[in-house]
Amino acid sequence: MAFLTDRKRAVGWGSAKSGTHHFWSMTVSAVALLILIPLFIFTFGCILGSSYEEVTAYYSRPFPAIVAALTIVVSFKHFNGGFQTMIEDYVHGPMGKVCIIGMTILSYGAAATGLFAIAKLAL
């Protein structure tokens, strides 16, 4: 084994062919969050500390509800991509796949719960 060239050692360890897609997905979601987070803070900050009836009336308007829903969806998608990268880097074998599946279920479940809460307030 010690007499193998660097090229021969690298054969079979090629790219997974999904790194560029993942990079662009994370970049686009990060830029979207740069826009959505301040919008969410300004729309949420206006209603912070109000009564339930005022919050319900506020989120029944389309703009705050859409901003909150988009922020939830993009945030959890970005979280899932980043956590998947971390698991791929540090957890190996079948446990890595189990962790990725579990984190994907958890992040999509949390996003669905947030969207349900926004829909319940808006409707």
Q: What is the CATH classification number for the domain harbouring 66?
A: 1.20.1300
Nearest to 105 by CA among 91, 120, 84: 84
The mean pLDDT value of the chain amounts to 91
**How many structural domains comprise the chain?**
1
Question: What confidence score (pLDDT) does residue 80 get?
Answer: 96
Q: Confirm whether 115 is domain-assigned.
A: yes
What is the rounded CA–CA span in Å between residue 36 and residue 25? Answer: 16
Q: Confirm whether 6 is domain-assigned.
A: no
What is the rounded CA–CA span in Å between residue 68 and residue 66? Answer: 5
Give residue 109's domain range.
26-122
Task: Please give the residue that has the higher pLDDT: either 116 or 4.
Answer: 116
Q: Confirm whether 110 is domain-assigned.
A: yes
Q: Confirm whether 19 is domain-assigned.
A: no
Question: What confidence score (pLDDT) does residue 16 get?
Answer: 63
pLDDT tens digits along 16-39: 667 788 899 999 999 999 999 999
Rounded to 5°, angle at Cα 104 from 42 and 24: 65
Q: pLDDT band for position 14 (50/70/90)?
A: low
Q: Cα separations (Å) of 98 from 13, 19, 24?
A: 22, 20, 25
What is the rounded CA–CA span in Å between residue 67 and residue 75? Answer: 12
Q: Confirm whether 9 is domain-assigned.
A: no
- pTM for the model stands at 0.83
Q: Confirm whether 54 is domain-assigned.
A: yes
Q: Confirm whether 12 is domain-assigned.
A: no
Q: Confirm whether 13 is domain-assigned.
A: no
Q: pLDDT band for position 7 (50/70/90)?
A: confident
pLDDT at residue 40 above 60? Answer: yes
Q: pLDDT band for position 68 (50/70/90)?
A: very high
